Structure 1
Amino acid sequence: MPQLTPAAPGGLPLLGHIPALVGRRLAFLEEMRHHGKVVRIRLGRTPAFVITDARIAREVVSDGGTTFARGRFFRKLRPLLGDGLGTSDGPFHMRQRRMVQPAFHHTRPGYDVDTLRGVIEAWTGSWRAGMTLDIAREMDRLGVALITKSLFSSDTAAGEVEDVQESIADFMVGVGMRAVVPSDLLERLPIRANRRFNAARDRLERAITKVIADYHADERDHHDILSMLIAARDTEGLPMSDQELRDEVLSLVVAGGDTTGHVLGWVFHELGQHPEVERRLLEELDQVLAGRTVTADDLPKLGYAEQVVNETLRLRSPGWLVMRRTTRALELGGVPIPAGAELLVSLSALLRDPAVYADPMRFDPGRWAPDRAKELPRDLFLPFGAGTRKCAGEPLARISMALVLATLPARFRLRPVPGHRVREMALGTMSADKIPMTLESR
């Protein structure tokens, strides 16, 4: 029997809960779990529903667009990112997914461990003991370097790769602001932030368009993701258009570089805050690697490193806001939801739900140990989404993070700068403002 829908308190005339969502972001969404499994809010005058129950949320985010289509958040992103996997819906999304996913399959991925490790070693080659670095920024840039090398391995693309790497940070700041702020007015103002965003957007567009044209002209298989995307064919034997290739490349750069880098920054922050976790990780690296360089065969043996990554993904998931729109009237958790309603899901909040994870704000990689992990509902561990919406690049992201975690701590211990408080920033994804850390020789 349908229930009376719980309503969030504090809505303002005309604006509703927009000021609370924009101003408090993840904290506002976390608070909604105290009001019910499905909570009614207002985005201006538009009713919307926050999903706080993990099982209902899984149903919503895993749907391929039949019942729950992309919501308002993604409609703001589509003009910026195009119709890649991160923003598209329905049959077109499934077509693209079938063409993109083979590039990440473990049997013949469009990247290799040696190349990725080389990127990490080159990026950190100039690091020296005694240096203090903003690890949030360094890991963001390393994440972009890893995905761009996986996408375009050809030496002829070096200039375009540099353009992408230098532009993506300003682009993502602008995307985050445009996604969160409901009004289009802000992006029309002649302010410095908009000029930086526009310049970054144009530079990205030129770089991606040129590298696609160069790959078409070259016709060689560079054994990278872009070569596989160009060679991919749909069920009718048709390739992607250049616009479709552009959209998928941009989606992969944004999703792969931005989120992987954010999580890596948080990994080292947590290691710096928890010496006993760092000690166990170093013991595993010493035992498995014995001082040598990590290889693909070593990765399955780094079980504790995987626990550290999983716990960071749980506690610091980048997905602070996902939106869907109902395509028909239905009930969720006994609550009637009309057709065309906006649904808000925070993967970050769900992964901190005390109903699912005991003592959720405690960083505890041990909860993913084999003897304890079986007690966790693994189907509700959704940092990469679920179903046909699950991130196609998860294998690359996990390999990249494992390689960084097997490489950096072998050379350096990263120590937090005393007195600095690291703050979460929820823009397009959840990241850290700054993570200053000092390098010590191991």
Structure 2
Amino acid sequence: MSSKHAENSTSTADSESVEDLPLPPSPPGYPILGNTLQYASDPFEFHDSAVEEYGDVVRMDLVGGDIYLMAHPDFFERAMVTQQDAFEKTDDFEIAFGENLNAVEGEQWERQNEALQEFFYPGKIRAYAESMVDMIEARMELWEDGGEISLHGQMKDVALEILFGTIFDRPLDPEGDEELRWAANSLNEYFNPSSLVLPDWLPTPARHRFKKGKGRLNREARRLLAEREEEGGTGDDLLSTMVEVRNSDSELITETEMIDQVAGLTFAGHDTSGLSMAFAWHLLGNHPDVRERFYEELDDVLGGDRPTIDDIGDLTFTRKIMQETMRRHTPVHTVPRRAAKDIEAHGYRIPEGADMHLSIHRVHRDPRFWDDPLEFKPSRWDDMSTIDKRYAYIPFGEGPRSCIGERFAKLEQLLVLATIGQKYHLEPQSELDFAPEMTSQPSNPLPTTVHER
């Protein structure tokens, strides 16, 4: 391990001492372009090699401006819990999500968070289980023994169907709603590496696709809200609740907030779940020993029956598969932040106003915190008392602004694996390589052959 990884104090020093600290080191780059080409061609590889060589804090010299790569649990604790004011959200959140829960701050966030919590209470989520299984089975009816599917596409589709059939109470046609499905994936385009490394004012194909897609997603959100208003808006789902609140007191929620909430949840509520489930199946397909233990648990616990909410507690190995999947291939690879003031970071200075990329991808693979970090070993989670890595394992974030849908996603993941795994073996036909955007997008659709067990 490089000596650059020395454990330094992470407390914020007084402003005078911080000003005296050096900037973090930067890998060699090209004239004018700096590290732009290296980063844009393979962000994950660049992150890994830069941290290995230069330590936990690295300055990436990009055409669009310096970005500070930060790869240690300390930084996540500070950004998410102890020093949130110093690690403020970037403008990217507002551009992508508008006035959605993911982007707003202060009183507006508190108000939105309180309003949305009721849809993610444990009791409410438990009640979704039967409907989730119904939608998983409806998706499986489109598959044929020996046929080929896009693993990534199918897992995104079922995640979107589950979201809409539960939180929104607006079931989707498994073979329809194509406009909505396309729009639901559009926000990723803004975080294409080519857009991140270039100046904000420079038009790029990815930025054009993002603008077009975001407009379409907002139109879909308006349409969904209008549909629910025409139906009376009297249910206990999210769409009905927002319509009812808006009609009773327009001061409690604005039309823009309603649209951005639906649009943001549509993206965030299916993209990461779809990715995590696709990655899990791909890993299972390439690790037959883990797959057989998984099948044994399903046979022992379920015996061929549909999984129910009462079975979830007994699917212990299935849960470990998902925990390890989200460590090995975390869907959210980076947490972007902006320095609200000069920040001390392991002996270096992050200048006020600088953009920071806190790398979950790197921390989840750091050998200081994980034995054999590149290996897929669900058994590492057998003894939870040895997993003392609160900020070294953060697939859902930490602190007061951790993912509001964490419980929902974990239930969904278990039910998808259990329902499909009882009937099918999924055999990957390609390698898993990445083309990261906002999330860890695979570079291909992950073609997969479906075999009945």
Q: TM-score, normalised by structure 2?
A: 0.86
Q: State the partner residue of 2:7.
A: none
Moved more, 306-315 or 45-54: 45-54
2:353 is matched with 340
Residue of structure 2 in register with 1:174 after alignment: 189
Contact 2:93 2:102 in 1 (8 A): no
User: Are positions 1:397 and 2:415 aligned together?
Assistant: no
C-alpha separation between the residues in 1 aligned to 2:435 and 2:391? 27
2:325 corresponds in structure 1 to: 312
1:24 to 29, 38, 42: 42
Q: Which moved more, 1:236-245 or 1:259-268?
A: 236-245
Query: Contact 2:64 / 2:199 at 8 angstroms: preserved in 1?
Result: no
1:388 aligns with 2:390: no
In the alignment, structure 2 segments of 5+ residues that lack a partner are 1-16
Provide the secondary structure at the position in 2 that maps to 1:424: coil
Aligned pair in 2 of structure 1 residues 378, 185: CA closer, same or farther (>3 Å)?
Answer: closer
Task: Tell me which residue corresponds to 2:256.
Answer: 243
- Alpha-carbon distance in 2 for matches of 1:64, 1:330: 10
- 2:130 equivalent among 108, 114, 124: 114
- Whether 2:59 is the aligned partner of 1:49: answer no
Number of equivalent positions: 430
1:376 Cα deviation after fit: 3.7
Residue 211 (str. 1) matches residue 211 (str. 2): no
Does structure 1 conserve the Cα–Cα contact (< 8 Å) formed by 2:101 and 2:113? yes
**1-structure distance, mates of 2:68, 2:208:** 35
Report the alpha carbon displacement of residue 430 of structure 1 after superposing the two structures with TM.
0.3
The residue number in structure 2 matching 1:298 is 311
The residue number in structure 1 matching 2:29 is 11
In structure 2, distance between residues paired with 1:64 and 1:219: 44
Aligned-partner SS, 1:323: strand
CA RMSD of aligned residues (A): 2.9
SS of aligned partner of 2:310: coil
What CA distance in whole angstroms lies between the structure 2 residues aligned with 1:391 and 1:345?
16
Q: Which secondary structure state, in structure 2, belongs to the residue aligned with residue 425 of structure 1? A: coil
CA shift for structure 1 position 324: 0.6
In structure 1, runs of 5+ residues without a counterpart are none
Percent identity among equivalent residues? 27
* TM-score normalised by structure 1 residue count: 0.88
The secondary structure found in structure 2 opposite 1:40 is: strand
1:53-72 maps to which residues of 2 (within 5 A)?
53-62=72-81, 65-71=84-90
**Of the candidates 127, 134, 139, which is equivalent to residue 143 of structure 2?**
127
CA distance in 1, matches of 2:82, 2:98: 20
- CA drift at 1:351: 0.7
SS at match of 2:344: strand
> Which digits, 9 at most, give the CA deviation of each residue in 1:273-314, with x for residues without a partner?
001111111111111111111111111211111100000000
Contact 1:63 1:389 in 2 (8 A): no
For 1:126 and 1:337, locate their aligned partners in 2 and report how far apart those are by CA, in whole Å: 52
Query: Deviations for 1:344-399, whole angstroms, at most 9, x for unmatched residues?
Result: 11111111111111111100001111x25534423431011111221111111111
- Out of 416, 436, 441, which is 2:447 matched to? 436
The yes-or-no answer on 1:422 pairing with 2:432 is yes
- What residue in structure 2 maps to residue 92 of structure 1? 108
Secondary structure in 1 matching 2:441: strand
